[in-house]
Structure 1
Amino acid sequence: MASLKKRGRYYYIRFSRTINGKRDRITKSLKLRYKDQAEEALEKLEELEESGAIDPFAKNFDPVVILDSLDGKDHSINLYTVREAADYFYMKKSHLSNSTVKNAKNRTMDSCGAYEQAIEHFIDLNGIADLSPLMVRQQHFENVIFKPGIKPATRHFYFKQFRVWWKVIRI
Protein backbone atom coordinates (compact mmCIF):
# COMPACT_ATOMS: atom_id res chain seq x y z
CA MET A 1 0.00 0.00 0.00
CA ALA A 2 1.32 3.43 -0.90
CA SER A 3 0.45 7.03 -0.17
CA LEU A 4 1.78 10.49 -0.95
CA LYS A 5 3.38 12.88 1.49
CA LYS A 6 4.54 16.42 0.83
CA ARG A 7 7.61 17.74 2.59
CA GLY A 8 8.47 21.29 1.73
CA ARG A 9 8.14 21.62 -2.03
CA TYR A 10 8.55 17.97 -2.98
CA TYR A 11 6.30 14.92 -2.88
CA TYR A 12 7.39 11.66 -1.30
CA ILE A 13 5.86 8.22 -1.64
CA ARG A 14 5.30 6.21 1.52
CA PHE A 15 4.98 2.44 1.29
CA SER A 16 3.67 0.48 4.25
CA ARG A 17 3.07 -3.18 5.03
CA THR A 18 2.16 -5.24 8.04
CA ILE A 19 3.94 -8.51 8.77
CA ASN A 20 2.95 -10.51 11.90
CA GLY A 21 1.38 -7.42 13.47
CA LYS A 22 4.50 -5.34 12.91
CA ARG A 23 4.14 -2.36 10.61
CA ASP A 24 6.98 -1.46 8.23
CA ARG A 25 7.13 1.90 6.48
CA ILE A 26 9.51 3.30 3.95
CA THR A 27 9.46 6.81 2.50
CA LYS A 28 11.26 7.75 -0.73
CA SER A 29 11.41 11.03 -2.58
CA LEU A 30 9.74 11.30 -5.98
CA LYS A 31 11.52 14.62 -6.65
CA LEU A 32 8.26 16.02 -8.05
CA ARG A 33 6.71 19.36 -7.14
CA TYR A 34 3.27 19.02 -8.70
CA LYS A 35 0.49 16.96 -7.18
CA ASP A 36 -0.92 15.64 -10.47
CA GLN A 37 2.50 14.32 -11.51
CA ALA A 38 3.00 12.77 -8.08
CA GLU A 39 -0.41 11.07 -8.19
CA GLU A 40 0.38 9.67 -11.64
CA ALA A 41 3.71 8.35 -10.35
CA LEU A 42 1.93 6.85 -7.33
CA GLU A 43 -0.48 4.95 -9.58
CA LYS A 44 2.35 3.57 -11.74
CA LEU A 45 4.38 2.46 -8.73
CA GLU A 46 1.37 0.85 -7.04
CA GLU A 47 0.63 -1.13 -10.21
CA LEU A 48 4.23 -2.30 -10.36
CA GLU A 49 4.18 -3.28 -6.69
CA GLU A 50 0.93 -5.24 -7.07
CA SER A 51 2.27 -7.11 -10.07
CA GLY A 52 5.47 -7.95 -8.18
CA ALA A 53 7.73 -6.10 -10.60
CA ILE A 54 9.24 -3.97 -7.82
CA ASP A 55 9.91 -4.40 -4.12
CA PRO A 56 9.78 -1.00 -2.39
CA PHE A 57 11.36 -2.46 0.76
CA ALA A 58 14.48 -3.62 -1.08
CA LYS A 59 17.74 -1.98 -0.10
CA ASN A 60 18.45 -0.37 -3.49
CA PHE A 61 14.88 0.69 -4.36
CA ASP A 62 14.74 4.12 -6.03
CA PRO A 63 11.37 5.25 -7.42
CA VAL A 64 12.91 8.03 -9.51
CA VAL A 65 15.08 5.57 -11.45
CA ILE A 66 12.12 3.25 -12.01
CA LEU A 67 9.88 6.08 -13.24
CA ASP A 68 12.63 7.35 -15.55
CA SER A 69 13.05 3.90 -17.07
CA LEU A 70 9.29 3.68 -17.64
CA ASP A 71 9.27 7.11 -19.29
CA GLY A 72 12.21 6.13 -21.47
CA LYS A 73 10.17 3.32 -23.00
CA ASP A 74 7.42 5.74 -23.99
CA HIS A 75 9.73 8.15 -25.82
CA SER A 76 10.17 6.66 -29.24
CA ILE A 77 9.76 9.68 -31.49
CA ASN A 78 11.38 9.81 -34.87
CA LEU A 79 12.46 13.27 -35.89
CA TYR A 80 14.44 13.30 -39.12
CA THR A 81 14.60 17.06 -39.83
CA VAL A 82 14.78 20.24 -37.82
CA ARG A 83 11.41 21.23 -39.33
CA GLU A 84 9.84 18.03 -37.91
CA ALA A 85 11.45 18.77 -34.53
CA ALA A 86 10.00 22.28 -34.54
CA ASP A 87 6.53 21.05 -35.50
CA TYR A 88 6.70 18.33 -32.82
CA PHE A 89 7.62 20.98 -30.26
CA TYR A 90 4.71 23.22 -31.34
CA MET A 91 2.37 20.25 -30.99
CA LYS A 92 3.68 19.47 -27.48
CA LYS A 93 3.28 23.11 -26.43
CA SER A 94 -0.09 23.65 -28.13
CA HIS A 95 -1.81 23.79 -24.72
CA LEU A 96 -0.08 27.12 -23.98
CA SER A 97 -1.50 30.54 -24.71
CA ASN A 98 -1.45 32.08 -28.18
CA SER A 99 1.32 34.45 -27.16
CA THR A 100 3.61 31.41 -26.82
CA VAL A 101 2.57 29.06 -29.63
CA LYS A 102 -0.13 29.73 -32.23
CA ASN A 103 0.31 26.74 -34.55
CA ALA A 104 -0.87 28.67 -37.57
CA LYS A 105 -0.66 26.91 -40.95
CA ASN A 106 0.88 29.94 -42.66
CA ARG A 107 3.38 31.19 -40.12
CA THR A 108 4.82 34.66 -40.41
CA MET A 109 6.98 36.44 -37.90
CA ASP A 110 4.05 38.79 -37.14
CA SER A 111 1.49 36.03 -36.48
CA CYS A 112 3.41 33.61 -34.29
CA GLY A 113 4.11 33.10 -30.60
CA ALA A 114 7.36 33.59 -28.71
CA TYR A 115 8.63 30.03 -29.16
CA GLU A 116 7.75 30.03 -32.85
CA GLN A 117 9.37 33.40 -33.41
CA ALA A 118 12.68 32.26 -31.93
CA ILE A 119 12.70 28.79 -33.52
CA GLU A 120 11.60 29.97 -36.96
CA HIS A 121 14.29 32.68 -36.86
CA PHE A 122 16.84 30.01 -35.89
CA ILE A 123 15.81 27.76 -38.78
CA ASP A 124 15.66 30.57 -41.36
CA LEU A 125 18.94 32.24 -40.36
CA ASN A 126 20.90 28.99 -40.47
CA GLY A 127 19.00 27.47 -43.39
CA ILE A 128 18.74 24.10 -41.65
CA ALA A 129 15.10 23.11 -42.13
CA ASP A 130 16.07 19.85 -43.89
CA LEU A 131 19.09 19.08 -41.69
CA SER A 132 18.90 16.23 -39.19
CA PRO A 133 18.54 17.46 -35.58
CA LEU A 134 21.56 15.31 -34.73
CA MET A 135 23.65 17.48 -37.06
CA VAL A 136 22.74 20.76 -35.33
CA ARG A 137 25.81 22.10 -33.58
CA GLN A 138 26.59 24.79 -31.05
CA GLN A 139 27.67 27.06 -33.89
CA HIS A 140 24.08 27.15 -35.22
CA PHE A 141 22.81 28.44 -31.88
CA GLU A 142 25.65 30.94 -31.58
CA ASN A 143 24.82 32.35 -35.02
CA VAL A 144 21.49 33.51 -33.59
CA ILE A 145 22.31 34.25 -29.96
CA PHE A 146 25.57 36.11 -30.56
CA LYS A 147 24.62 37.88 -33.78
CA PRO A 148 26.20 41.38 -33.83
CA GLY A 149 23.91 44.15 -32.65
CA ILE A 150 21.68 42.02 -30.40
CA LYS A 151 20.97 43.38 -26.93
CA PRO A 152 21.49 41.18 -23.86
CA ALA A 153 17.74 40.89 -23.21
CA THR A 154 17.15 39.57 -26.73
CA ARG A 155 20.09 37.19 -26.35
CA HIS A 156 18.54 35.86 -23.16
CA PHE A 157 15.14 35.54 -24.88
CA TYR A 158 16.61 33.37 -27.66
CA PHE A 159 18.62 31.30 -25.21
CA LYS A 160 15.54 30.50 -23.08
CA GLN A 161 13.41 29.54 -26.08
CA PHE A 162 16.10 27.29 -27.58
CA ARG A 163 16.83 25.60 -24.26
CA VAL A 164 13.16 24.67 -23.74
CA TRP A 165 12.84 23.48 -27.37
CA TRP A 166 15.92 21.27 -27.16
CA LYS A 167 14.85 19.74 -23.82
CA VAL A 168 11.42 18.84 -25.17
CA ILE A 169 12.72 17.08 -28.27
CA ARG A 170 15.44 15.31 -26.19
CA ILE A 171 18.08 14.76 -28.77
Structure 2
Amino acid sequence: MTGKFYLISACLLGHKVRYDSRDCLVKELVDYLLPEQYVTICPEVSGGLPIPRPAAEIQSGDGRDVLLYQAHVIDINGTDVSDAFIKGAYAALDLAQRFQATHAILKANSPSCSSKLIYDGSFTGNKIQGNGVTAALLKQHDIKVMTEDEFLQMIL
Protein backbone atom coordinates (compact mmCIF):
# COMPACT_ATOMS: atom_id res chain seq x y z
CA MET A 1 0.00 0.00 0.00
CA THR A 2 3.08 2.22 0.01
CA GLY A 3 2.54 5.59 -1.61
CA LYS A 4 -1.24 5.25 -1.76
CA PHE A 5 -3.62 7.47 0.15
CA TYR A 6 -7.36 6.94 -0.14
CA LEU A 7 -10.53 8.99 -0.17
CA ILE A 8 -13.30 6.63 0.96
CA SER A 9 -17.09 6.93 0.86
CA ALA A 10 -18.23 7.41 4.46
CA CYS A 11 -21.00 4.81 4.13
CA LEU A 12 -18.39 2.13 3.38
CA LEU A 13 -16.76 2.83 6.73
CA GLY A 14 -20.01 2.42 8.66
CA HIS A 15 -21.28 6.00 8.75
CA LYS A 16 -25.07 6.11 8.45
CA VAL A 17 -25.12 8.75 5.71
CA ARG A 18 -26.93 7.02 2.86
CA TYR A 19 -30.20 8.40 1.56
CA ASP A 20 -32.04 5.78 3.66
CA SER A 21 -30.04 6.56 6.85
CA ARG A 22 -28.12 3.30 6.53
CA ASP A 23 -24.50 2.44 5.96
CA CYS A 24 -22.79 -0.02 3.64
CA LEU A 25 -20.00 -1.07 5.98
CA VAL A 26 -17.24 -3.04 4.31
CA LYS A 27 -15.43 -4.45 7.32
CA GLU A 28 -12.44 -5.46 5.21
CA LEU A 29 -11.73 -1.78 4.51
CA VAL A 30 -11.59 -1.01 8.21
CA ASP A 31 -9.50 -4.11 8.88
CA TYR A 32 -7.08 -3.62 5.98
CA LEU A 33 -6.37 0.12 5.99
CA LEU A 34 -4.92 2.13 8.83
CA PRO A 35 -6.74 5.37 9.73
CA GLU A 36 -3.70 7.36 8.60
CA GLN A 37 -4.09 5.90 5.10
CA TYR A 38 -7.42 7.53 4.29
CA VAL A 39 -9.91 10.35 4.70
CA THR A 40 -13.64 9.90 4.39
CA ILE A 41 -16.52 11.91 3.00
CA CYS A 42 -20.12 11.58 1.92
CA PRO A 43 -20.36 13.93 -1.07
CA GLU A 44 -24.14 14.13 -0.86
CA VAL A 45 -24.11 15.23 2.78
CA SER A 46 -21.17 17.57 2.09
CA GLY A 47 -23.24 19.05 -0.72
CA GLY A 48 -25.97 19.95 1.75
CA LEU A 49 -28.43 17.07 1.43
CA PRO A 50 -30.08 15.76 4.61
CA ILE A 51 -30.15 12.28 6.13
CA PRO A 52 -32.50 10.70 5.27
CA ARG A 53 -33.25 12.12 1.83
CA PRO A 54 -35.26 10.98 -1.17
CA ALA A 55 -33.48 8.57 -3.52
CA ALA A 56 -31.95 10.32 -6.52
CA GLU A 57 -30.77 9.22 -9.95
CA ILE A 58 -29.04 10.88 -12.87
CA GLN A 59 -31.33 11.44 -15.83
CA SER A 60 -30.21 11.76 -19.45
CA GLY A 61 -26.52 11.09 -18.91
CA ASP A 62 -23.94 10.41 -16.23
CA GLY A 63 -21.85 12.36 -13.74
CA ARG A 64 -19.65 13.97 -16.39
CA ASP A 65 -22.78 15.30 -18.08
CA VAL A 66 -24.09 16.66 -14.76
CA LEU A 67 -20.81 18.52 -14.23
CA LEU A 68 -21.28 20.06 -17.68
CA TYR A 69 -24.95 20.91 -16.88
CA GLN A 70 -26.05 18.61 -19.71
CA ALA A 71 -27.85 16.15 -17.41
CA HIS A 72 -29.53 16.42 -14.02
CA VAL A 73 -29.73 14.53 -10.76
CA ILE A 74 -33.41 14.25 -9.92
CA ASP A 75 -34.84 12.81 -6.72
CA ILE A 76 -37.78 10.43 -6.67
CA ASN A 77 -40.12 13.38 -5.93
CA GLY A 78 -38.99 15.17 -9.11
CA THR A 79 -36.75 17.73 -7.41
CA ASP A 80 -33.55 18.69 -9.21
CA VAL A 81 -30.72 18.16 -6.70
CA SER A 82 -27.89 18.56 -9.22
CA ASP A 83 -26.37 21.59 -7.48
CA ALA A 84 -25.98 19.68 -4.20
CA PHE A 85 -24.33 16.77 -6.03
CA ILE A 86 -21.93 19.12 -7.83
CA LYS A 87 -21.13 20.98 -4.60
CA GLY A 88 -20.46 17.65 -2.86
CA ALA A 89 -18.23 16.46 -5.71
CA TYR A 90 -16.10 19.58 -5.41
CA ALA A 91 -15.94 19.14 -1.61
CA ALA A 92 -14.66 15.59 -2.18
CA LEU A 93 -12.10 16.81 -4.72
CA ASP A 94 -10.92 19.52 -2.32
CA LEU A 95 -10.50 16.98 0.48
CA ALA A 96 -8.70 14.54 -1.82
CA GLN A 97 -6.32 17.23 -3.01
CA ARG A 98 -5.63 18.57 0.49
CA PHE A 99 -4.62 15.07 1.61
CA GLN A 100 -2.96 14.21 -1.70
CA ALA A 101 -5.19 11.17 -2.19
CA THR A 102 -4.03 9.01 -5.06
CA HIS A 103 -7.02 6.65 -4.99
CA ALA A 104 -10.70 6.75 -4.09
CA ILE A 105 -12.84 3.84 -2.93
CA LEU A 106 -16.39 4.92 -3.65
CA LYS A 107 -19.78 3.25 -3.29
CA ALA A 108 -20.91 1.31 -6.34
CA ASN A 109 -24.17 2.26 -8.07
CA SER A 110 -24.37 5.67 -6.36
CA PRO A 111 -25.30 8.77 -8.39
CA SER A 112 -22.40 10.48 -6.61
CA CYS A 113 -19.82 7.78 -6.20
CA SER A 114 -20.21 4.99 -8.71
CA SER A 115 -17.38 4.44 -11.14
CA LYS A 116 -18.93 1.64 -13.20
CA LEU A 117 -22.74 1.48 -13.20
CA ILE A 118 -25.39 4.01 -12.26
CA TYR A 119 -29.16 3.75 -12.18
CA ASP A 120 -30.71 4.93 -15.42
CA GLY A 121 -32.92 7.68 -13.97
CA SER A 122 -36.20 5.76 -14.24
CA PHE A 123 -36.28 4.61 -10.57
CA THR A 124 -36.99 1.08 -11.79
CA GLY A 125 -33.67 -0.51 -10.74
CA ASN A 126 -32.21 -0.56 -14.24
CA LYS A 127 -28.50 0.24 -14.41
CA ILE A 128 -26.38 1.67 -17.20
CA GLN A 129 -22.63 2.19 -17.61
CA GLY A 130 -21.51 5.51 -16.24
CA ASN A 131 -19.88 7.45 -13.45
CA GLY A 132 -21.50 9.28 -10.59
CA VAL A 133 -20.85 13.01 -10.24
CA THR A 134 -18.04 12.74 -7.68
CA ALA A 135 -16.39 9.80 -9.42
CA ALA A 136 -16.38 11.70 -12.72
CA LEU A 137 -14.79 14.78 -11.15
CA LEU A 138 -12.11 12.80 -9.33
CA LYS A 139 -11.23 10.91 -12.51
CA GLN A 140 -10.88 14.22 -14.35
CA HIS A 141 -8.24 15.12 -11.77
CA ASP A 142 -6.28 11.86 -12.17
CA ILE A 143 -7.41 10.19 -8.97
CA LYS A 144 -7.83 6.44 -9.47
CA VAL A 145 -11.43 5.62 -8.60
CA MET A 146 -12.62 2.12 -7.73
CA THR A 147 -15.68 0.51 -6.21
CA GLU A 148 -15.55 -1.32 -2.91
CA ASP A 149 -15.73 -4.63 -4.82
CA GLU A 150 -12.74 -3.69 -7.00
CA PHE A 151 -10.74 -2.83 -3.89
CA LEU A 152 -11.66 -6.15 -2.26
CA GLN A 153 -10.62 -8.05 -5.41
CA MET A 154 -7.29 -6.21 -5.30
CA ILE A 155 -6.51 -7.17 -1.68
CA LEU A 156 -7.90 -10.72 -1.57
Do Structure 1 and Structure 2 share a fold, with TM-score over 0.5?
no
Q: Please report the TM-score for the alignment, with normalisation by the length of structure 2.
A: 0.24
**Could you say which structure has the greater relative contact order, defined with CA pairs below 8 angstroms and 6 or more residues apart?**
2
Q: Please report the TM-score for the alignment, with normalisation by the length of structure 1.
A: 0.23
- Highest CA radius of gyration, 1 or 2? 1
| Larger relative helix fraction | 1
